[in-house]
Amino acid sequence: MNLDVQSLRTFSRLAHSGAEEAAGSLTTLTGFDARVAVTKVEMATRADVEREFRERDLVTVHIGFSGAIEGQTVLAFDRDRAISLVDALVPGASDDPDSDLATSGLKELGNIMLGGFIDGWADFLGDGIDITTPTYVELDAGQSLQDVVDDSEFDTDGQFGAEVHDDADFGAEIDSNHVLAFRNHLETVDEEAGFYIYMLPTQDSVETIVDAAGDADDAIPVETFTSFSQMISEGAGQASEDLTAMTGIDTNVDVSRLSFVPVEGVPMELTDEARRGVVLEFSGTPSGYIAILFDPESAESVADALMPGMDADPEMRKSALQEIGNIVTSGFLDGWANSLETTIEISPPTYVDDIASAIVDPLVTELARTQDYAFLIDSAIATPDETFTCDIYALPDERELRAAFDQLAPEAN
């Protein structure tokens, strides 16, 4: 299967307008004034999405869909938010958040929001998409989305499987073929904590939409995205090892994602709190920008770890962070250069201590001069004991990245 940038744009637009519908429904039903902050097309695996649900303790409502396209949609929100939602939907019911009426309210909210999300896709394809009844899921550690979905849809009275799908391997099929996830972040005006709508189509379904929207000449085999995602994970892994070697503190890669977003969506992904770190420019195939950011506490912890027992002045601490930035960037990009059999030059780091969204704003603005959408690579490296977290954002030039993709998959040409 091949993917092209035109299709990715179509995906992004459909997902965004679907999320707009869903946000409108949320506002109508609960009075929470919601709007769509960012819509991302993620080259993520289903396991990545599940991990996010578990780690962030998200409560979810699932709806399966089939027909013109098939897969799963998920409405996810923080546990605390679930309680305030129940209160808005069914006043008083939040006293007993596990009651049938409380979960019924959440399920129906999911049904209405996700139903509205799907409508635009059906109309775009000029065909019908059937949706299943909603399932309420609290994902525990050790459970996978697939377990839950299979349990609810196939072990009950066959309410869903029998009519809509005749193969009981439906869940497994999604998993093995899953290549894209559409992630929509909805935020309310007063609070940062938000809602997420995920759409996880099957590979066949992605293909259906590519056929309707795409530009075959421009297409890149989907495996290329997968191998690039792999390359990003390896780069993040190397950066994590280098951080551990320098600081003497164990670190893990928490997140490593490749996504496709409207350029203006990138700064909106970041907080407006202060972050410290470095910004670097890289050039080669591809060129682009990278920002390595720490929250203020993490920046202090890292500087302390680099200069144990030293009473370093602020300039020295700044220099230590710059050096960390250099090393993390090299760890992150060296693997790319090797896989792509090219060299990627890295500029000296510029130290930053500013509003996070304002730090990436000039990087995105440079890209915006020639592109409407960007491939965003974001990774998070963290210590298990939460001593520090390091966020990495890389923004390669879109056309140069496509050239790099060609390098990864020469047989495609």
Per CB under 8 A, contacts with other proteins among 269-298 are 270, 272, 274, 279, 281, 283, 287, 289
115 near other proteins, rule: CB under 8 A:
yes
Preceding omega of 286 cis (within 30 degrees of 0)? yes
Collapsing DSSP to helix, strand or coil, 290 comes out as strand
98 near other proteins, rule: CB under 8 A:
no
- Residue 377 bridge partners (DSSP): 258, 394
Which residues fall within 8 angstroms of residue 405, CB to CB, at 6 or more apart?
Answer: 220, 224, 225, 228
Query: Which one among 174, 181, 239, 352 touches other proteins, defined by CB under 8 A?
Result: 352
361 near other proteins, rule: CB under 8 A:
yes
Number of residues counted as binding other proteins (CB under 8 A): 91
- Cβ proximity to other proteins, 5 vs 236, nearer residue: 5
Query: Which one among 46, 81, 107, 257 touches other proteins, defined by CB under 8 A?
Result: 107
Cα-to-chain-centroid distance, residue 159: 32
Residue type at position 381: I
- Cβ proximity to other proteins, 68 vs 380, nearer residue: 68
280 vs 148, 150, 317, 348, CA distance in Å?
43, 46, 18, 6
Please report where in the chains the tokens 């770190």 appear, as a residue.
Answer: 277
344 near other proteins, rule: CB under 8 A:
no
- Which span sits near other proteins by CB under 8 A: 54-62, 119-127, 223-231, 322-330? 119-127
Collapsing DSSP to helix, strand or coil, 387 comes out as coil
Closest CB 325 distance from other proteins, rounded Å: 13
- Cβ proximity to other proteins, 184 vs 379, nearer residue: 184
Query: Which one among 7, 16, 72, 236 touches other proteins, defined by CB under 8 A?
Result: 16
Residue type at position 336: W
Please count the residues of the chain: 413
Residues 17-56 that bind other proteins (CB under 8 A): 17, 20-21, 23-25, 27-29, 33-37, 39
403 near other proteins, rule: CB under 8 A:
no
Instruction: Name the burial class of residue 195, with classes exposed (0-12), middle (13-18) and buried (19+) by CB atoms within 10 angstroms of its CB.
Output: buried
394 near other proteins, rule: CB under 8 A:
no
What sign does the dihedral 310-311-313-317 (CA atoms) show? positive
Closest CB 209 distance from other proteins, rounded Å: 15
342 near other proteins, rule: CB under 8 A:
no
Alpha-carbon span 224 to 220, nearest angstrom:
7
Query: Which one among 168, 355, 403, 409 touches other proteins, defined by CB under 8 A?
Result: 355
105 near other proteins, rule: CB under 8 A:
yes
Alpha-carbon span 375 to 397, nearest angstrom:
8
Residues 141-200 that bind other proteins (CB under 8 A): 157, 159-160, 187, 189-190
Q: Considering all CA atoms of the chain, what is the largest pairwise distance in Å, rounded to the nearest integer? A: 70
Collapsing DSSP to helix, strand or coil, 300 comes out as helix
- Which span sits near other proteins by CB under 8 A: 313-321, 322-330, 334-342, 364-372? 364-372
169-173 — which CB contacts under 8 Å span 24+ positions? Answer: 170/64, 170/70, 171/146, 172/146, 173/202
- Which span sits near other proteins by CB under 8 A: 46-54, 124-132, 170-178, 243-251? 124-132
> Can you read off the two tokens belonging to residue 131?
């949706």
Q: Kindly write out the interface string for residues 294-333 of this chain, putting x where it contacts other proteins by CB under 8 A and - elsewhere.
A: ----------------------------------------
104 near other proteins, rule: CB under 8 A:
yes
